[in-house]
A and B are shown apart, each in its own frame.
Chain A
């Protein structure tokens, strides 16, 4: 009878003894991430994607303020946006600035004086570049596609087709 009691009490005691204090846990996911405001806003800036040198294959967005503040009527907006979109790809091909490079950003795209045009077609964004594109690395292609989609449309998930001097990439979707 007593043996039974003791046997019953032992796990309880063990439970009490081991359960004291605050215990460590595994990583627990809790809800949404934080969303920060990035200045300048979408209308006054261009978003470029470079590669993080600390972790390869990882695109990091960079916000460049538009050099020429846009003035004009909303009707003319589309033309200017198109020009800005061209500009964005040109800037992308130029690579990260000195400040950006200091934070560990780099590009996989070759440094070229690119002649670029971006159009919005029924199948998505069409990009023409006067350089070879099929030899670009996977990360470089994603840089190109994400920057183009972001620059030409409000939705970076838009399908993008890139036509270079040696062939066509895509249509592909940006994934960041």
Chain B
């Protein structure tokens, strides 16, 4: 019984329950009515037959003893008067057995009825069903009254009749009940469906609204109808989603404030830093003439100022991404040439093994691609071990061609605990090493640039150990504007092993 309850929907169950109740009440009513009507029909038929039989016998005049001929005449006379039911009359007198038919005795009259009719001074009847045919048998002793109360004459008469009319009536009632039940159930189907609809519509609305909230449409509300439990549920849902909307708006404001703060700080730092850079440059040039201790201090200041300047630049870059103010200036680029230039600009060309096939051209933002490659190679040089390999190829993915750039170092690879966080901002792989050569934003900026192109970036261990960063970019400009967000899900560092 549990399985269908699980399998059927709410509507089916509601309609089913409704119909079941309707069927039970219809069946109960029909059964009770039927039983009452049947007993009324039968009682009337029996009473009429018994009364009539008694009256007709009372109208007979007999002599005692009766002979066979007289008995037969009486039987036939009685049989003719059987109305509305034709009945067959059987008579018993002493050893005589006579009837109005051609058989002297009946096989429908039971011994129990004979005993009752002969043994008592009462009329009796019995309904007998023989071979599926219902019969009414009436046993009636004939008494004689000679002024001192009735005394038995020894004559007992039996009337046997088929209850065909009553049977037809009873069957007509059954047919009527059966034929009436189906339309009644069909009619019950209408309120059942209406009731199911009135329950299911709010449920459907609720489901749609919940799905809307799930999609991020926090403004979704449900129309509240009536004042029942479902309306209460809808009201609660509306209240909850209002609260949720407010909280989310608050969070977004806070986040925006924080970003604006970071952006403002970077801007404010840039001007004094520019001055400091100019000064440290001059100091650097003059460091040779200073005493050694002062020269060391001056060079340290110069190095740190450079780092600070780079950090501020990175912070401003990431702020632009957060403010969605990063623009993509696409240009058709010879990719191998672009990578070569990037390496040369940073004097890395001798430390990097290059597998750069010529002739691959792609629609890219050259500045951003430069940042992507430079950050990945710089990261490999800083945290991995040489030799570092940059590999370029194209791959067909589904219907589009992808540009695949791989940067592989020969270091110990990436710790699995660190792997999910390598693209996080200011994430330090080694907690003890609080200071490193990089700003801590390099890979985060790489990720943002790749996303801006509509591409993905993966970090994994290379086939022979060492960290492997794989950047996939669309070879041609994606059909949808990339500024609205990449069509691919944000690249999660995957754990594709060797």
A residues sitting closer than 8 Å to B (CB atoms) are 1-3, 5-6, 8-9, 12-13, 15-16, 19-39, 42, 47, 52-55, 58, 60-63, 99-100, 102-105, 150, 154-157, 176
**Contact residues in A for B122 (Cβ distance below 8 Å):** 29-33
B222 beta carbon closer than 8 Å to chain A: no
CB < 8 Å neighbour of A34 from B27, B94, B143: B143
B227 beta carbon closer than 8 Å to chain A: no
**Contact residues in B for A26 (Cβ distance below 8 Å):** 112, 126
- Asked if residues B147 and A99 are in contact (CB atoms below 8 Å), the reply is no
Task: Compute how far the CA of A23 lies from the CA of B123 in the bound complex, rounded to whole angstroms.
Answer: 20
B residues sitting closer than 8 Å to A (CB atoms) are 1, 4-5, 17, 20, 23-24, 27-28, 30-31, 34-35, 38, 42, 46-47, 50-51, 53-54, 57-58, 60-68, 93-96, 110, 112-113, 116, 118, 120-129, 134, 139-148, 150-155, 157, 163, 166-167, 170-171, 174
Task: Compute how far the CA of A30 lies from the CA of B137 in the bound complex, rounded to whole angstroms.
Answer: 12
Q: List 14 A-B contacts (CB under 8 A).
A: A21-B134, A23-B127, A24-B127, A27-B110, A27-B112, A30-B123, A33-B140, A34-B58, A34-B142, A35-B143, A37-B60, A37-B61, A60-B153, A63-B63
- Asked if residues A62 and B64 are in contact (CB atoms below 8 Å), the reply is yes
* A84 CB to nearest B CB, Å: 14
* A152 CB to nearest B CB, Å: 12
Residues A60 and B65 in contact in the complex (CB < 8 Å), given A19-B34, A24-B128: yes
Closest 5 CB pairs of A and B: A104-B95, A104-B94, A34-B57, A60-B154, A22-B134
Residues A29 and B94 in contact in the complex (CB < 8 Å), given A34-B140, A39-B62: no
- Asked if residues B24 and A12 are in contact (CB atoms below 8 Å), the reply is yes
**Contact residues in A for B5 (Cβ distance below 8 Å):** 1-2
Closest residue of B by beta carbon distance from A149: B148
**Contact residues in B for A20 (Cβ distance below 8 Å):** 170, 174
Residues A36 and B126 in contact in the complex (CB < 8 Å), given A22-B42, A103-B93, A104-B94: no
- Asked if residues B54 and A28 are in contact (CB atoms below 8 Å), the reply is no
Closest residue of A by beta carbon distance from B50: A30
**Contact residues in B for A21 (Cβ distance below 8 Å):** 134, 167, 170-171, 174
A/B pair count, beta carbons within 8 Å: 187
CB < 8 Å neighbour of B67 from A12, A28, A36, A102: A102
CB < 8 Å neighbour of A22 from B121, B147, B170: B170
Task: Compute how far the CA of A38 lies from the CA of B145 in the bound complex, rounded to whole angstroms.
Answer: 8
- Asked if residues B129 and A24 are in contact (CB atoms below 8 Å), the reply is yes
Task: Compute how far the CA of A62 lies from the CA of B176 in the bound complex, rounded to whole angstroms.
Answer: 56
Residues A38 and B126 in contact in the complex (CB < 8 Å), given A13-B27, A15-B31: no
Task: Compute how far the CA of A105 lies from the CA of B57 in the bound complex, rounded to whole angstroms.
Answer: 23
* B45 CB to nearest A CB, Å: 10
Residues A35 and B144 in contact in the complex (CB < 8 Å), given A29-B116, A61-B154: yes
- Asked if residues B67 and A27 are in contact (CB atoms below 8 Å), the reply is no
- Asked if residues A53 and B134 are in contact (CB atoms below 8 Å), the reply is no
Task: Compute how far the CA of A25 lies from the CA of B116 in the bound complex, rounded to whole angstroms.
Answer: 14
Task: Compute how far the CA of A25 lies from the CA of B34 in the bound complex, rounded to whole angstroms.
Answer: 18
* A106 CB to nearest B CB, Å: 10
CB < 8 Å neighbour of B116 from A27, A58, A103: A27
Closest residue of A by beta carbon distance from B174: A20
**Contact residues in A for B127 (Cβ distance below 8 Å):** 22-25
- Asked if residues B143 and A33 are in contact (CB atoms below 8 Å), the reply is yes
Task: Compute how far the CA of A105 lies from the CA of B53 in the bound complex, rounded to whole angstroms.
Answer: 27
**Contact residues in A for B116 (Cβ distance below 8 Å):** 27, 29
- Asked if residues B167 and A34 are in contact (CB atoms below 8 Å), the reply is no
CB < 8 Å neighbour of B65 from A12, A58, A105, A150: A105
**Contact residues in A for B30 (Cβ distance below 8 Å):** 16
**Contact residues in B for A105 (Cβ distance below 8 Å):** 65, 94
Task: Compute how far the CA of A30 lies from the CA of B117 in the bound complex, rounded to whole angstroms.
Answer: 11
**Contact residues in B for A55 (Cβ distance below 8 Å):** 118
- Asked if residues A25 and B148 are in contact (CB atoms below 8 Å), the reply is no
Closest residue of B by beta carbon distance from A55: B118
Given known contacts A27-B112, A34-B54, what 13 new A-B pairs fall within 8 Å (CB)? A2-B1, A9-B20, A22-B38, A27-B125, A28-B126, A30-B122, A33-B143, A35-B143, A37-B61, A38-B61, A62-B64, A63-B63, A103-B68
- Asked if residues A58 and B154 are in contact (CB atoms below 8 Å), the reply is yes
- Asked if residues A38 and B144 are in contact (CB atoms below 8 Å), the reply is yes
Residues A34 and B141 in contact in the complex (CB < 8 Å), given A22-B166, A24-B128, A24-B129: yes
Task: Compute how far the CA of A8 lies from the CA of B200 in the bound complex, rounded to whole angstroms.
Answer: 28
